Structure 1
């Protein structure tokens, strides 16, 4: 919802700058629109538009990379949780308690992650949940293998558990986003200048205003998509937890 409000604010602001340019076109003296003045302003605006396009492309690419990274981490996590459960099962019946604890903890984590609620997502870092993870790892390390096979299985379980819980922390650290807010402010400022220049040299008619409206909507939509993909665990554009739920269904009782 916050991202939608930001996009709406950007839309209103840049469209208002275009309307301001149209109004200035009517009020400024004619000599401000000489061929030399027009060429200079268009060249300067073209430079700003090029820079803004490059930055916008970089931001979209960065946000998409963040989205894909978190998605890949969660899919890998789903695979590793199944591997961990199977390896614990191979170890022997003495790991039954650990397997039940793993399944219960994982089900809670998936439910919170799939809720999309910022309050529930914040609970993923609470000390109680973190304590359960640490307790699981301690109990796993305290197993006493009786055979060489069990010793190998224990080492594999410890490695898989580290991978599972590392992926969880990576996903949580990505949920706040990585795009600097000041950079977005600068981008919006550049868009304001561009739209103002558009209005300054455009005729005042309904067709022009309509296309200014569409352009402002497109610019705001790009900002919205960037913000949404940069925070892939909540919002309208978020990562599906279907692989995690499928992995949970494959955990044996």
Structure 2
């Protein structure tokens, strides 16, 4: 807007304004496409991690129910399963909220190995117990797979070149708005609102690509609810 006041009138005549509007339309299209694609990608990452947590929680509860049906000799594996689930909850969602979430799959490895050893050592006495043992080992494998999936998908950061290029596009776009906009408080408020909206979109992308950090986090409710029902 300051440049529009000091530039000669010939620089901002109708022909110049038309060119500026065309250039702004091109940049605005690029910004809209890239932001839309990045939001969709980030939301996909967030949804995948949410789905993995729900699947893991469901498998933990089903495994506990199978061991309960196996009989009293499976009580110790059930206690170990509860310990493993509580440790996963603590590492993914630290209680104090200050420590970052740990997606590394090895934090519960000793407990998980002890659990697998206990389940493997169960001695079925009838076909039903044999089936339950086989199912328990299968569910254990699925839980380990879901935990590895959380680690592999993990959180990520937006590439720095993306942020730099996006910032340049937005600077060009809003400079064009300032050149052709009327200089009054209403226009200033509107442009400021547009700036906040675009910044909010970039902030949302940053949050969604890191599902276990920041403000927008994957909910721990499924796993917490499952843990309260383990051993019952």
* 1:38 maps to which of 13, 17, 34: 17
Residues 232-253 of structure 1: per-residue CA shift (max 9 Å, x gap): 2222111221121111111125
Scaled by the length of structure 2, the TM-score of the pair is 0.88
Residue 174 of structure 1 contacts residue 231 of structure 1 at CA under 8 Å; is this kept in 2? no
Scaled by the length of structure 1, the TM-score of the pair is 0.81
Residue 63 of structure 1 contacts residue 179 of structure 1 at CA under 8 Å; is this kept in 2? no
Q: Say if 1:172 and 1:119 are closer, same or farther in 2 by CA, change over 3 A.
A: farther
**Which position in structure 1 is the counterpart of 2:204?**
225
Q: Say if 1:137 and 1:24 are closer, same or farther in 2 by CA, change over 3 A.
A: farther
Q: Say if 1:120 and 1:140 are closer, same or farther in 2 by CA, change over 3 A.
A: farther
The number of residues matched between the two structures is 231
Query: Counterparts of 1:133-152 in structure 2 under 5 Å?
Result: 133-152=112-131
Supply the distance in 2 between the matched residues of 1:126 and 1:166 (Cα, whole angstroms): 10
1:240 and 2:219 aligned: yes
Supply the distance in 1 between the matched residues of 2:124 and 2:98 (Cα, whole angstroms): 42
1:201 and 2:180 aligned: yes
Structure number with the higher helix fraction is 1
**Which position in structure 1 is the counterpart of 2:6?**
27
**Which position in structure 2 is the counterpart of 1:215?**
194
Q: Secondary structure at the match of 1:119?
A: coil
Q: Secondary structure at the match of 1:89?
A: helix
Cα RMSD of the aligned pairs, angstroms, is: 2.3
Supply the distance in 2 between the matched residues of 1:178 and 1:130 (Cα, whole angstroms): 27
Q: Say if 1:104 and 1:155 are closer, same or farther in 2 by CA, change over 3 A.
A: same
Query: Counterparts of 1:96-115 in structure 2 under 5 Å?
Result: 96-115=75-94
Residues 158-203 of structure 1: per-residue CA shift (max 9 Å, x gap): 1111222222232344442365443233222211111111111113
Supply the distance in 2 between the matched residues of 1:223 and 1:161 (Cα, whole angstroms): 39
